[in-house]
Amino acid sequence: MADTSLIFVLDASLPYIRHPETPGSVEETRLFNAISYTYLPLLRSCTALETEGVPFKLAIAFSPTLCEMLADPLLQSRYVESLDRSIDYGIAELDRLGNDERTRELVKLHLEQLQLNQRDFIEIYDRNILGKFDYFANRGYLEILATTATSCFLPLYTDIPEAINAQIETGLLTYRKHFTAIPSGFWLPAMAWANGMEQILKSYGFQYTVLESHGVLFSDTVPDTGVFEPCACANGFTVFARDALACREVASRDAGYSANDAYLNVDRDIGFELAEDKLSGIFDVSLGRRITGFRYWSRGNSGSDGFYEPAKAHLQAIADAGCFLSARVEKLDKASKALEGAPVSTVCAFPAALFGQDWYEGVTWLESVFRKAAADGTVTFDLPSARVPQRPAQVKAVNPCYSSWTDSGYAEEVLNSANDWMYPYIRKAVKRMIDLAERFPDDSGLKERSLNMAARELLLAQSMEWFLMMNEASSVEYARMRFEESIRAFTVVYESLGSNFISTEWLTNAEKKHSLFPEINYRVFRKRQ
Amino acid sequence: MDNTPLGRAYLETLSTTDLVKLADDYGIDIPEGLNRRFIIGELLEVTEDQGSDRGETGSLVEAEYVAAPDVLPETYNENQITVLLRDPGWVFVCWDFQTNLINALTGNHHFESFFLRVNFLSDTKPAVVSDFFDVDVGIGDRKWYVHLSGHASFCRVDLYCRYQQEKEELIVRSVEIPLPAATLCDPAAQPKRRCPPLVELSGIAELKKDHFRNHRQSFD
């Protein structure tokens, strides 16, 4: 049998959102939804596959901001509280619905999932779901990639390498806190690549990253093997090209498997539809409407008047997994034949949020892919590190070109008339931070705390999510608030260090508010000698 | 002078008269009628320099309050220009002026306009400007998107001041940023050769179509 394999890579990323002063803020629910619909179901799938001896392999890049939120006791407690409220609400909803059996069945289904999440999160994982992912990594099922401290679009900082180094080093520091492996792969936020990244990444000991197809296929040194084999840069650093078309087959909003009419319409949630008084038991509407998870409609209207049918959706997910696998096997076989039986692979990288959040049945689909492949024996799964060329010097060198996995393929989403006003501030702050790190190389005590605070706020301000949210009318205000808050906090420290005065009360409050990266070292911004 | 912390937040609380007095204490010459924002900028710059001169090992002193600035500054009062590559067809350029300089330039009777000179540079060392074009910008403009019509290895943007009947004056020059290969910007520049079978199987034809659909404005 030809040596053909599929490589799945998930980008598990969320911006750092934590509002200790505002319990129930709508923004914090992004984390809770990610836990409820993606990470807990994913862990249940992995557990089931492991228990049943079904082979599966998956690479995941957990953003340090997500790790810090998942490990945060305040957010963990708030998640548990939100589950409690949802369960109570579901029970009350069953009463309210009376004889509406069809809807009651869907409420019961969601209630079951909520109770399962509650049990898993509290009793099985002791609120530490990262520990279970680490367990699967240690067992060889998962590979956890390192990534930047915050989701920074690195190509826009290539002229300030200290900014890139600081992101990578702080990301690594956080990785070591949450995971036991030594990462060999590095996930570039948005898979954004620019010339020279290979030098930086290799200098930190990373062996590979994943790029969007056109980053490799549009380069002036296109590898003859296309996206079917990893390739090496001139310095031996390996790049995998994502198979963009295969991923589109799955995730396209219009024509992907995930868009099938049978699947749950995740946007049509009672949190956006019911009157305020009917929702008061589950959240405070004055803090913003949100996803509750109580959803009764399918994506299309082809079924019985558009009502969601879980069994039908489940079967569809299994069928779609089969179609996806057949298409991959066919292409991989063709590729293998063209290379006279040489090993070939296909890399499918997705945002983790696709599975469970954007596509409710996504986790079922993924699990079905593993099960179907095991049953058919037509293709295997690999971790990227297993496919890194052992002798990169023997592989034709490629020079990948500027690229990202955004819709535009480049930086249009993070650099346009809605968000370009942010760049003068962020770049000035980066330069000031480098200056501070140079001026205060050996400081300790209050000064060190202040400098660490400045570095933390600067990394937060670089989060790509604020730039992306500026494109959406509903999130502009929040994104602007968060970005300006971080720049202002940075500026306070900068000016305080200039004047030698600082308020420890202010500093302590700021540290409590953004309590991520407690081990940060501002010296990561120093220039390399 | 007392030891009041001279942060922007504190300075913002002072009246313009107090700011002028404080600047005088620091030996800063403030032209009459200068906007208070620039007086604050000058004060911060001077006190920052003095901080550097003092040595950096001094401890921070407790201040009773810290008031973060309510709004982000409109300018950092420096001559600076940045170029960011948005996609193979466009760069984003943003710039800032030192207030004294822009006042002096625009106050000159011969002043005509500011303009950006977009330079395309070769891959040689030293890099040589192989082509350039100019884009006029307004006095109040601080950003511009520039279409990359030339094909070169690097791009650099210079901000100039143009005078009537006088030689143009360079104000500030950006760093050189690498540009993607010409084939990315213009499909016509791509060699007309058959793709290797696995590159075709990778979907190169569809990817190129998508690229053209998304970025065709770059090819005009």
ipTM, 2 decimals?
0.93
Within an 8 Å CB–CB cutoff, is residue A254 touching chain B?
no
Question: Residue A21: CB partners within 8 Å, gap ≥ 6?
Answer: A513
Confidence of residue B21 (pLDDT cuts 50, 70, 90): confident
Confidence of residue B149 (pLDDT cuts 50, 70, 90): confident
* E strand intervals along A124-192: 142-147, 186-187
- Is-contact A10 A61, C-beta < 8 A? yes
**Shortest Cα distance, chain A CAs vs residue B141, angstroms:** 12
Closest chain A CA to residue B196: A224
Within an 8 Å CB–CB cutoff, is residue A498 touching chain B?
yes
Q: What is the pLDDT at residue A475?
A: 94
One-letter amino acid of B18: D
The pairing of beta strand A208-211 with beta strand A186-187: unpaired
Q: Tell me how far apart the alpha carbons of residues B191 and B213 are, in angstroms, rounded to a whole number.
A: 20
Q: Which residues of B touch A429 (CB under 8 A)?
A: none
Q: Percentage of chain B with pLDDT > 70?
A: 78
**Residue from B86, B151, B173 whose CB has the most chain A CBs within 10 Å, to mutate:** B86
Which residue from B47, B87, B203 is facing A412, i.e. has the nearest CB? B87
Within an 8 Å CB–CB cutoff, is residue B45 touching chain A?
no
Q: Which residues of B touch A509 (CB under 8 A)?
A: none
Report, in angstroms and rounded to the nearest whole number, the Rg of chain A calculated over CA atoms.
24
Confidence of residue B13 (pLDDT cuts 50, 70, 90): low
Q: What is the pLDDT at residue A1?
A: 61
Q: What is the pLDDT at residue A268?
A: 93
Q: Tell me how far apart the alpha carbons of residues A150 and A66 are, in angstroms, rounded to a whole number.
A: 9
Q: What is the pLDDT at residue A66?
A: 98
Confidence of residue B220 (pLDDT cuts 50, 70, 90): very low
Phi–psi pair at B159, nearest 5 degrees: -100, 125
Question: Residue B213: CB partners within 8 Å, gap ≥ 6?
Answer: none
Q: What is the pLDDT at residue B27?
A: 78
Q: What is the pLDDT at residue B4?
A: 47
Low-confidence ranges of chain A (pLDDT < 50): none
- Is-contact B19 B40, C-beta < 8 A? yes
Confidence of residue B150 (pLDDT cuts 50, 70, 90): low
Q: What is the pLDDT at residue B51?
A: 52
Better-predicted residue by pLDDT, A165 or B18: A165
Question: Residue A410: CB partners within 8 Å, gap ≥ 6?
Answer: A402, A403, A404, B85, B86, B87, B88
Which residue from A225, A412, A446 is facing B60, i.e. has the nearest CB? A446
Closest chain B CA to residue A488: B68
Put simply, whether the predicted model's pTM sits higher than 0.80 gets the answer yes
Q: Tell me how far apart the alpha carbons of residues A469 and A419 are, in angstroms, rounded to a whole number.
A: 9
Query: Residues of B numbered 98-137 whose beta carbons fall under 8 angstroms of chain A's beta carbons: which are they?
Result: none
Look at A506 and B66 and tell me if their CB atoms are within 8 Å: yes
What are the residues facing A350 on neighbouring strands? A10
Of B183, B186, B182, B177, nearest to B218 (Cα)? B186
Within an 8 Å CB–CB cutoff, is residue A226 touching chain B?
yes
Helix boundaries (H) for A188-292: 197-203, 213-217, 244-251, 270-273, 276-279
Q: What is the pLDDT at residue A160?
A: 96
Question: Residue B56: CB partners within 8 Å, gap ≥ 6?
Answer: A439, A440, A443
Q: Which residues of A touch B190 (CB under 8 A)?
A: none
Query: Residues of A numbered 440-469 whose beta carbons fall under 8 angstroms of chain B's beta carbons: which are they?
Result: 440, 442-443, 445-447, 450
Q: Tell me how far apart the alpha carbons of residues A175 and A220 are, in angstroms, rounded to a whole number.
A: 35
Q: Which residues of A touch B96 (CB under 8 A)?
A: 424
Q: What is the pLDDT at residue A5?
A: 96
Q: What is the pLDDT at residue B124?
A: 77
pLDDT per residue as tens digits for the range A228-259:
999 999 999 999 999 999 999 999 988 999 99
Confidence of residue B191 (pLDDT cuts 50, 70, 90): low
- Is-contact A121 A127, C-beta < 8 A? yes
For residue A380, give the 3-state DSSP assignment: strand
Within an 8 Å CB–CB cutoff, is residue B209 touching chain A?
no
Check pLDDT > 50 for residue B54.
no
Within an 8 Å CB–CB cutoff, is residue B29 touching chain A?
no
Q: Tell me how far apart the alpha carbons of residues A131 and A128 are, in angstroms, rounded to a whole number.
A: 6
Confidence of residue B39 (pLDDT cuts 50, 70, 90): confident
